[in-house]
Structure 1
Amino acid sequence: MTTIRNQSAPAAPPTRQAGLLAALVLAVAGFQINATMLTPALPDVIERLHTTSGPAGLSQTLFFLFAAIGQVTIARLSDHLGRRRMLLVTLAILIVGEVVCVLAPNIEVFVVGRMLQGISSAAFTLAYLILHESLSPQRFGRALGVITAVNGGIAGVDAVIGGTVADSVGFRGIFLITLVLTAVATAAVHFAVPESRVPASGRMDWRGAALLGIGLTGVLLALNEGGSWGWTSPATLVLLLAGLASLVLFAVVQKRTRDGIIDVSVLASRQVWPLLLTTVFTLAGVFGMLNFTIPLLTQTPGAGYGMSATTSALLFLTPASALGLLAAPLAGQFAPRLGWRRSVLIGAVGTAAAFVPLVLLPQSPWVACAALAALGITYTGYSLTALNGLAVASAPADKPGSLPGLNGACFGVGASLGIAVSSSVVTAATAGGPPTAGAFQAALWSSAVFVALALLTALLIRPATEN
């Protein structure tokens, strides 16, 4: 498999490179805080929009599902239209989604806004590609770590602010804050990010993008709603079968398409498919736990800890985010020397180890706090940085946006899958009633299974020197 190699350091002065990195950090932060700031506010969304945990979980699932679709589509489209142009498009879509959520009168409109926001997840992949095409290998590793650190939040400050805003003015205030940040990010990208278009022959594979989007939507919605609709209900089965059929048809079409959105032959390589599965399973395990189960566990009286949204964010989200902000740039600095594959393994082992006390002693707030803090180092620091770096380094030279975009899509698939499964487990265990301690523990175990699978698939990744 022919892969991209980092280019030589550009002649641009350090100040220009610093401006580029700062603009890209603002761009990805515009998307990320829409995920992290809302997490402690989920109970407030449920209360103010007069809904239940099921639709609230669906809004999170669709947010990350459309992140998957946006990643693979927009990253590949940037091969044709340019990185900077598509980054500005994603930020414009994010602004529209934020406005929709601010004005949402009900959960249905709120879900639409979250779907639009999810598409802008492509900002991460576009940022990685811009940096890879602009910096030397060592500088790329450090910059990649900085961008990846934002994937865990802004040192936990965003989660605390989200909890405080939810407790005081409600979830709509969160989207007003993110709207201002996104507007600033758009201006920064416009002035500081140069166009770095990679010429691509042929045309964009819209047919493949549509089939992939339909397939992912059907499968993940079936998993999310199966617990409440019934796993053998006609609606669940139709969604699941239609989604699987679309994915099969997508694979067939890609083999016959010259400029397909994904090179199917590349997927057969042991440098690629274990990497993609590791990304899916890692994100499914961590996001199902961190973005759904933990907010409900920490804020539910009786069955949980009964804390406020602010206290929950301060104790359980801030430490992980803050440690990740420190660990990710270090992981990016050492990964080119250790090897991206070896760094993936380090992150997978560490993440699995951090999950052990969490699932065994979920009734202890301090054990949960310590385990989540450790995940800031192992998951945000090593796993996310190494998975992104390995995807960029292993991309086909003629389609540089394909594998990073597909791996970015796997982030969205994994996140939505994990939230869908956790939501379904809690819904099934409570039978429509309030969440119970047993339901929370069952959801944590389901997340732990995904993390164990991630460790297994990480071991299967073949080093780049093997054929």
Structure 2
Amino acid sequence: MLSLAGMLAALQQTLVVPLTPEIPQILDVSEANASWMVTITLLTGAVATPIVSRLADMFGKKRMILTALVCMVLGSLMLAIGTVFLTALIGRALQGFAAAMIPVGISIMRDELPPARVGFGVALMSATLGIGSALGLPLSGVLFEHFGWHSLFWVSASFGVLVTAGVYLLVDESDVRSPGRFDYRGAVLLSVALTSFLLAVTNGGQWGWTSPEVLGCLALSAVVMAGWFPYELRVGEPLVDLRTSARKPVLLTNVASVLIAFSMYVNMLLTVQQLELPKATGYGFGLDVSAAGLAMVPSGLVMVLLSPVSGILLARYGGRSTMFLGSAIMASGYVFRIFVHESVLQIIIGATLVGIGTAFAFAAMPTLIMASVPITETASANGLNSLMRAVGGSTSSAVLAAILTSMTVGFAGRQIPAEHAFTLMFWLSVLACFVACLVILRIPVPSTVAAGREGVPAVAVAGDRSETVVRGRILPGGDVPRQTHTIVTVTRMDGRPVDWARCDNEGRFSVALPGAGQYLLIGNAGGWAPQAQVLDFRGGSLQHDVALERQLTLSGTVTDGGAVVPGALVTLHQGGGDFVLSDHADDEGEFTVPLPLAGIYIVSAAGADSGRAASRKLTVGAKSEVIDIDLAMEIRADA
């Protein structure tokens, strides 16, 4: 049922593509305004995905999928009964909320499916973007040709009602949640930045890439993002956990996702155009919209059929190897398309090869992501990955439009894309896949020490219906100061990793435990010695706080010829000269300050009465340091 919801979400992206040339006449608008019927859905989907995904982690994944489905159904009904452009535009915007169902659905599968079925489920759900997009073109073409444009949205609304009922009745709500405060300011800033960026990218060809509108949108996006990043790092419960997103497996997977999505959209968009070009050009095949759309069906079907294979590859070889294989197959498919394109069958074979690679690569993405983020944040992390795919797709559309409109030939009194424009786009796709392969090779292989075999991630991604969320606080020194670098990890007593969490600014954390038993829980905060405890979990809800008892410090004594210097000034600078802190020694000449972050520092002391000062160089690690300074001693350069 969740996979059907994913396919329904993907259908919304291509539903109006065959209708686009007719929209100006149908709704009595200009061609420029008609293009908004496609753009608005992309914008809404990109903005809604990270927001809905975060809300799913907080308030319930099933609840958010149902919310997205209701929005999509309402939008479809507005389009089915409306005849005014504004109504149609609002309807298409509401349909964009469906994009959030794919990452949230993947997260539900991780939480609820038996471990043996998670790989297949995630593979199928990941592939729904390509499946729905491939099937949407022929379906909408046939409906429009035989039943009129309203029929597209009646079918979408009817299918949406059935899927909504199915999700409500058949899908269990996940108990894995991380309640807290929603980051409204971060959501607004990200929405403004994404909207500005996507407006520039999707309309660059129409407005002109150097036009004030495009440059203004790009500048606004850059300025807002420049403020959004430090804000998200500072806020206690961010919309997007940038520190987790910056972890090497997550970051590199998202980078590769952009490149692979770029290539996937080229296959989807160019295949139909190539088949519809007049046969007399020598490189077109003169098919109508419906026939060209049907040529995409094999690539969509093969993605469904290969879902079990993707699950097997994920279980046996892991996400990195599967993603690399998929990207390599996509590159091979494009090389085939460059040199072999003499018949419709050859075009279909090339497109299907790219579809096979897409199925493998898309199946691996959420597996790699979920293996590297806390269990209570899987929906948010998958939402960010879906957003990266959308960015890749938008960039692909923009580059495609720029190349196809600049590299043209005259035919029958009009300009059409030249053959070398298609060839260039295919080579760019090969390059994108090749770079993606290089990026994928840099993704760290998950730890397999405990399991003893490759492919088993360091954090379990298989669902377990007995998972219970345990909440608590890290309490440094019995107080609750603001903490931004506090981590909690949980391990089974046999050494297998369970979950981890990054605490908010108040020290709060949530971790998911797979059932009753004993666990090793470790709390680690910057500036404090780590604290390990054996947690005897008996089931049910649990609040468990961890007290960090020993603060890491930098201490010492200031003397002058062996005599203590009361009230001596002590300063700490980074090796590069930046000021860190200052303090004064007590009556015994002793000082104690919090241990700074690891690095090279200059510790200086000065006596007000003697007028003498001295400095020592210190390399700070992960333990308390003691450094004594004698103002009367000559300081060695290597001290």
> Which bin holds the TM-score, normalised by the shorter protein?
0.7 to 0.9
- Give the secondary-structure state (helix, strand or coil) at the position aligned to 1:165: helix
Provide the C-alpha distance between the structure 1 equivalents of 2:63 and 2:32, rounded to a whole number of angstroms.
37
* Inter-partner Cα distance in structure 2 for 1:284 and 1:46: 29
- Alignment partner of 1:463 out of 439, 445, 468: 445
Instruction: Output the CA distance in 2 between the equivalents of 1:71 and 1:313.
Output: 27
CA distance in 2, matches of 1:105, 1:299: 29
Distance in 2 of aligned mates of 1:130 and 1:331: 19
Mapped contact 1:53–1:423 kept (Cα < 8 A): no
1:300 matched to 2:277? The reply is yes
Whichever residue aligns with residue 296 of structure 1, its letter is: Q
For the residues of structure 2 that align with 1:313 and 1:171, how far apart are their CA atoms? Answer: 17
The residue correspondences of 1:257-406 to structure 2 (distance < 5 A) are 257-290=235-268, 292-301=269-278, 304-315=284-295, 317-360=296-339, 364-380=343-359, 382-406=360-384
Among candidates 422, 436, 456, match of residue 454 of structure 1 = 436
1:405-416 matched pairs, under 5 angstroms:
405-416=383-394
Q: 1:324 to 1:421 in 2, by over 3 A?
A: same
Rate the CA distance shift 1:320–1:82 in 2: closer, same or farther, 3 A: same
Which amino acid is 2:369 matched to?
A
1:269-307 deviation line (CA, Å, top 9, x unaligned): 2111110011111112211441x3333332233553221
Q: Is 1:29 the equivalent of 2:7?
A: yes
Distance 2:435 2:44 in 1: 24
The answer to whether the 8 A contact 1:156-1:320 is kept is yes
Is the contact between residue 57 and residue 179 of structure 2 (CA under 8 Å) also seen in structure 1?
A: no
Once residues 363 and 108 of structure 1 are traced to their aligned partners in structure 2, the CA distance between those partners, rounded to angstroms, is: 44
1:237 matches 2:219: no
- Contact 1:60–1:419, Cα closer than 8 Å, also in 2: no
Question: What CA distance in whole angstroms lies between the structure 2 residues aligned with 1:250 and 1:140?
Answer: 35
User: RMSD of the alignment, in Å?
Assistant: 2.9
Q: Secondary structure at the match of 1:260?
A: coil
The code of the aligned residue for 2:418 comes to A
Separation in 1 of the partners of 2:315 and 2:424?
39
Amino acid at match of 1:331: S
Counterpart Cα distance in 2 of 1:185 and 1:309: 28
| 2:75 alignment counterpart | 97
Deviation at 1:348, TM superposition (A): 0.9
Judged with a 3 Å threshold, the aligned counterparts in structure 2 of structure 1 residues 84 and 70 are, in CA distance, closer, same or farther, namely same
Per-residue CA deviation, residues 364-398 of structure 1 (Å, 9 max, x unaligned), is 53332111111222112x01111122222222245
Q: Secondary structure at the match of 1:262?
A: coil
State the 1:334 CA deviation.
Answer: 2.9
Distance in 2 of aligned mates of 1:349 and 1:170: 41
1:189-222 per-position Cα deviation (integer Å, ceiling 9, x unaligned):
1111222143324211121122112112212221
Aligned to 1:420: 398
SS of 2:131's partner is coil
Cα deviation 1:338-369 (Å, max 9, x = unaligned) = 11111111111111111112244556533321
The whole-number CA distance in structure 1 between the counterparts of 2:272 and 2:18 is 6
Distance in 1, Cα, partners of 2:121 & 2:136: 21
Q: Is the alpha carbon distance of 1:333 and 1:60 closer, same or farther for their aligned partners in structure 2, counting shifts above 3 Å?
A: farther
Greater shift, 28-37 or 437-446, is seen at 437-446
Task: Give me the whole-angstrom Cα distance separating, in 1, the residues matched to 2:58 and 2:308.
Answer: 30
Deviates more, 1:296-305 or 1:131-140: 296-305
How many angstroms apart in 2 are the aligned matches of 1:285 and 1:124? 20
TM-score, length basis structure 2: 0.64
Q: In the alignment, residue 330 of structure 2 is paired with which amino acid?
A: T
- Does the CA contact (< 8 Å) of 1:83 and 1:130 recur in 2? yes
State the Cα distance separating 1:161 from its structure 2 match.
2.7
**Please, which moves more after superposition, 151-160 or 130-139?**
151-160
Task: Please give the secondary structure, in 2, of the residue aligned with 1:271.
Answer: helix
Matched residues, number: 442
String of CA shifts for 1:41-87, please: whole Å, max 9, x gaps.
Answer: 54455664577886666544443343232221111111111111111
Structure 2 CA distance, aligned partners of 1:227 and 1:147?
33
Indicate how the Cα distance of structure 1 residues 322 and 296 shifts in structure 2: closer, same or farther if over 3 A, else same. Answer: same
Q: Is the 8 A contact 2:409 2:417 kept in 1?
A: no
| One-letter code aligned to 2:447 | T
Aligned positions of 1:9-24 closer than 5 A: 23-24=1-2
* Superposition deviation, residue 227 in structure 1: 2.3
Amino acid paired to 2:294: L
SS of the equivalent of 2:416 reads coil
Q: Which moved more, 1:369-378 or 1:395-404?
A: 395-404
1:119-161 per-position Cα deviation (integer Å, ceiling 9, x unaligned) = 2111111111111111233211122223234333269665433
- Distance, in Å, in 1 between the alignment partners of 2:123 and 2:170 is 20
Report the equivalent of 1:212.
Answer: 190
Structure 1 residue 227 corresponds to structure 2 residue 208: no
Q: More displaced, 360-369 or 209-218? A: 360-369
Change (3 A) 1:155 1:280: closer
The answer (yes or no) to whether the contact 2:252–2:440 under 8 Å persists in 1 is yes
Unaligned 5+ runs, structure 1: 1-22
Q: Percent identity?
A: 26
Within the alignment, does 1:161 sit opposite 2:116 as a pair? no
The one-letter code sitting in structure 2 at the alignment partner of 1:115 is A
Contact 1:218 1:244 in 2 (8 A): no
Q: Which of the two has greater helix per residue?
A: 1
SS of 1:121's equivalent in the other structure is helix
Range moving further from structure 2, 228-237 or 352-361: 352-361
Which structure would you say has the larger Rg?
2
Paired with 1:130 and 1:442, the residues of 2 have a C-alpha distance of: 40
Which residue of 95, 101, 117 maps to 1:139?
Answer: 117
1:138·1:333 contact (CA, 8 Å) conserved in 2? no
**Residue aligned with 1:412, SS:** helix
User: C-alpha displacement at 1:232, in angstroms?
Assistant: 1.8
Tell me the equivalent position of 1:12: none
Highest RCO, 1 vs 2 (Cα 8 Å, sep ≥ 6): 1
1:202 corresponds to which of 143, 166, 180: 180
Q: How far apart, in 2, do the equivalents of 1:424 and 1:66 lie? A: 23
Residue 129 of structure 1 corresponds to 107
Where 1:400 maps in the other structure, the secondary structure is helix
Is the contact between residue 288 and residue 421 of structure 1 (CA under 8 Å) also seen in structure 2? no
